[in-house]
Homo-oligomer: A and B are copies of this chain.
């Protein structure tokens, strides 16, 4: 019952950006901080861009910025979008369910309820709740302003957090 590492690092990328609201965060910086490969991070960042959570600005002075207020990003939604396999027991996948007990078994209902309880907890918590206070950034290369949030070079793709797609290539 392990959460995918992908989800673990997705949350950390978001938390890192949330604590640096006035800073363009770079892939290199994230790679160094978390000891992760750039490829792995670029995949995460691309997905978050497609979900409309993160904005990627290319080129010199570019980087990553949250597109949403951390107080409006629910941990439950991030986990739902990031995790791809919630198959708790075989009967969760009707196509491959060979279980002969299915007729009388109430196991699926039980695990459905447990999963709902799990996400109810996560839905009550936002990125702002877990990320800690913003870090002042004397070395920040670019301050956020209402105008600066959507510069011409920004690459953003809006999509529902609940419908992740992971095949993009754009990155900082």
- Write the residues of chain A forming the contact surface with B, with a CB cutoff of 8 angstroms: 1-5, 7-8, 11-12, 15-16, 19, 33-35, 75, 79, 83, 85-90, 98-101, 103-107, 110-111, 113-122, 125, 129-133
Contact = CB atoms under 8 A, between A and B. Distances in A.
Contacts of A129: 106, 110
Nearest to A109: B130
Contact of A99 (B12, B19, B86, B105): B12
Contacts of A7: 1, 89
Given A105-B15, A130-B110, A34 B86 contact: no
17 contacts: A1-B3, A5-B90, A11-B89, A15-B101, A15-B107, A19-B104, A34-B99, A75-B107, A104-B132, A105-B130, A106-B130, A106-B132, A110-B121, A111-B122, A114-B118, A116-B121, A117-B118
Contacts of A1: 1-4, 7, 79, 83, 85-86
Contact of A122 (B11, B33, B110): B110
B89 A3 contact: yes
A125 B100 contact: no
A105 B89 CA distance: 32
Contacts of A119: 114
A121 B88 CA distance: 14
Given A110-B122, A115-B118, A104 B133 contact: yes
